[in-house]
Amino acid sequence: MAVSSGSAGASRSARGVAQRRCHPTPGTQTPGETQEELEFDVTPGPSLEVTPPEDLERPDFTPIPGADQAEPPEVEPRVLVSEVVVTGATGDLETVVYNSVGTLPGRTTTRSQLQEDINAIFATGFFANVRVIPEDTPLGVRITYDVQPNPVLSQVQLADSRIETLTVDGVTVPTQAAIDDIFQLQYGDILNFRDLQIGIDSLNGLYQENGYVLAQIIDAPEVSPDGVVTLQVAEGVIENIQVQFLDDEGNTTDEEGNPIEGNTREFIITRELQTQPGDVFNQTQVQSDLQRVFGLGLFEDVRLSLNPGQDPRQVDVTVNVIERQTGSLSAGVGVSSSSGFYGTASFQQLNLGGNNQRLGAEIQIGTRDLLFDVSFTDPWIAGDPYRTSYTVNAFARESISLIFDGGEDEVELDNGDRPRVRRVGGGVSFARPLGDWLGLQGWRASLGLQYQNISVRDADGDLSPEDEEGNQLSFSGSGIDDLLTVQLSAVRDRRNDFVAPTRGSVLRLSTEQSVPIGNGSILMTRLRASYSQYIPVRFTNFTPGCQLENASPSDCPQALAFNVQVGTVLGDLPPYEAFSLGGTDSVRGYGPGEVGSGRSFLQATAEYRFPVFSIISGALFVDFGTDLGTADNVPGEPANVRDKPGTGLGYGLGIRIRSPIGNIRVDYGIGDDGDGQLHFGIGERF
């Protein structure tokens, strides 16, 4: 509205039109609070002069002291309002307009007041357009508010959305169904921009809950005459993914300003990412991707950084990695009763050629024997879409079997030596995730074939088919067995962290079927299962992270951990293939194999794991193991003749020390016989 003051003799005219069109901006303000376009359409003619009636009482302005020293503010012209009219709306909407405006009949108004009325009408959220039309009447100026109500809301939809589904209350539904669920109470009513904004806020929150942390509604909604609202969404589409190598201090360049170069080929990292350019950034998915990259075992740290893409609506993702030492070489010499004078050498490379291929070799050359163990693993066969890995190995190993050792009564060979089991052979195995292949998300299966020539010998390497009491030590009775097995296993891993899990579970199932060949013609079926469950808790707060009010699992890795294992052997059972109980990875508080050995077993563990400070954490544990009374079903009854109890309970405490090779585990356990044992290991038991 153009309002100006003319000369005293000018004629009165009120032909101007003031209007404003609504351009609401969801995601920022309500329509009435935004800076909408303001248009003043003035009918051609002389300047508007509104002269109030002669009998109008004029306000008394009392001069302010000192006001003459400053420039007086410009006084807005005021006009007397004779009538206020609403057009374009009836019923409740008409009442809404009347209740919103401050201009009343019989009082004066100004241009600013009319602008405030426009804002107030828009603030109700019901109107798409508002015009103020002043008209001269004999008694003053008639003010008409010409409004255009919004249409009845029939649907809310997204424009060009790439997100196909969202999870609502644990149920995955199409994105449009999730939107309809949010706005369903508004459908069928006059569109209200304020209510629409509340729904938009809920939709933005739903994006966050589903991991789409960069997605948000932007720009003004498009409203069609039939009540369909189309929302523009910036979803955070990934424009590019790149890898950045960092030094140990997190720098991207060395002291001379040269970029840090890694040993790992970049595609080894990027192929672990299910997130790809063109996808919408999802924090949950990216976190899983980073866990897989960290799970390669090649990096000390894996971080993520985001930068704007060339398209400001998109994002560039950078995977920042700090490599760890992946190779080792060692050698040594020694003397033992079993090998005499010997020399050893070992080599290990976890990132051969930067391809994440693993080569390991150990050799021991002694005056009495030659032992070795060589293996090669490719964790992802090149070009395979299902991430198939394979491992080949060859070995000649010898050890004192836990089956034939320990117990209350020592039973040795006729010459006083302890029985030693030598295994010479090799094998190949293949493994593959089952998610993309069979749709079994979280599952991984492996299939392998292994051959072993197994013999029982004394310290001099001579065959020893029986112990000093005449008990059988091999299945064939000759001291030499041939064992060819087909191995099948499946693992479902739902842990939130591979190193220090605080939530989730792991299920392991395996079977091993022998093929009867050679010495002993062994026909054996081994079945085994293991289940672990992790529950986050907050019992202690030794570390600053645990003292936070809303600490995350990464801030305070504190959990109750439970594990149950069972197993049995059907058919033939060589005594050295029985299940052994007791020791570091079984019932702590007992020595290795001291609890017993049997055809079947049951083992259970409960642990409370908690951080203490920095790189130190603690654990309280209880272990239980039993051979289920099957010790006498093992040929030669090695557990019974050594008077092993067959059942054991252990409890105690331990510490975990974080190191480059993994958590160093030190546990002190007390068995139910009252004796204590100190146990050492690398990594958690489960």
Question: Does 35 reside within a domain?
Answer: yes
Q: Which has the minimum average pLDDT: 94-98, 239-243, 333-337, 538-542?
A: 333-337
Query: Which CA distances in Å does 335 have to 138, 338, 366, 367?
Result: 123, 9, 9, 10
Distance CA 389, CA 433 (A): 9
Say how many Å lie between the first and final Cα of the chain, rounded. Answer: 77
Query: Which CA distances in Å does 401 have to 211, 411, 575?
Result: 51, 13, 10
107 has pLDDT over 50:
yes
State both tokens at 491. Answer: 């693992």
Residues 114 and 185 in one domain: no
Model confidence at 31, in pLDDT bands (50, 70, 90)?
very low
Beta bridge partners of 172: 167
Residues 164 and 87 in one domain: no
Identify the domain boundary among 305, 323, 341.
323
Q: What is the 3-state secondary structure (H, E, C) of 331-342?
A: EEEEEECCCEEE
Q: What is the 3-state secondary structure (H, E, C) of 558-609?
A: CEEEEEEEEEEEEECCCHHHCEEECCCCCCCCCCCCCCEEECEEEEEEEEEE
Residues 211 and 247 in one domain: no
Mean pLDDT for 28-45 is 32
Distance CA 536, CA 266 (A): 35
Model confidence at 11, in pLDDT bands (50, 70, 90)?
very low
* CATH code for the domain in which residue 203 is found: 3.10.20.310
Alpha carbon of residue 511 to chain centroid: 31
49 has pLDDT over 50:
no
Residues 163 and 136 in one domain: no
* pLDDT tens-digit series, residues 255-296: 888 999 999 999 999 999 999 999 999 999 999 999 899 989
Structural domain that includes position 523: 380-682
455 has pLDDT over 50:
yes
Q: What share of the chain is helix, strand, coil (3-state, %, to 5)?
A: 15, 45, 45
Question: Does 85 reside within a domain?
Answer: yes
Distance CA 186, CA 164 (A): 23
Residues 173 and 302 in one domain: no
Q: What are phi and psi of 394, to 5 degrees?
A: -140, 145
Q: In terms of pLDDT, which residue wins out, 46 or 521?
A: 521
Identify the domain boundary among 114, 132, 149.
149
Residues 414 and 528 in one domain: yes
Residues 674 and 533 in one domain: yes
Model confidence at 427, in pLDDT bands (50, 70, 90)?
very high
Rg (CA), the chain: 40
Question: Does 124 reside within a domain?
Answer: yes
Q: Which has the minimum average pLDDT: 13-17, 120-124, 229-233, 434-438?
A: 13-17
Distance CA 215, CA 212 (A): 6
Q: Which has the minimum average pLDDT: 52-61, 315-324, 638-647?
A: 52-61
What is the secondary structure of 25-80 as a DSSP string?
-TTT--GGGS---EEEE--SSSPP-----TTPPPP--PPPTTGGGSPPPPPPP-EE
Question: Does 60 reside within a domain?
Answer: no
Hey, is 207 helix, strand or coil?
helix
Contacts of 26 (CB under 8 A, 6+ apart): 196, 197, 200, 217, 218, 219, 220, 221, 231
Half-sphere exposure (CA, 13 Å, Cβ side) for 368?
A: 14
Question: Does 271 reside within a domain?
Answer: yes
Residues 458 and 501 in one domain: yes
Instruction: Provide the residue count of the chain.
Output: 686
Question: Does 126 reside within a domain?
Answer: yes
Structurally, the chain folds into a number of domains equal to 4
Model confidence at 611, in pLDDT bands (50, 70, 90)?
very high
Alpha carbon of residue 543 to chain centroid: 23
Residues 298 and 433 in one domain: no
Amino acid symbol at 487: Q
Residue 339, pLDDT score: 65
CA-closest candidate to residue 581, choices 454, 671, 678, 465: 671
Residues 139 and 160 in one domain: no
Question: Does 346 reside within a domain?
Answer: no
Residues 134 and 178 in one domain: no
Question: Does 200 reside within a domain?
Answer: yes
Residues 283 and 423 in one domain: no
- Decide if 631 contacts 643 (C-beta within 8 A): no
* pLDDT tens-digit series, residues 617-655: 999 999 999 999 999 999 999 999 999 999 999 999 999
Distance CA 406, CA 595 (A): 9
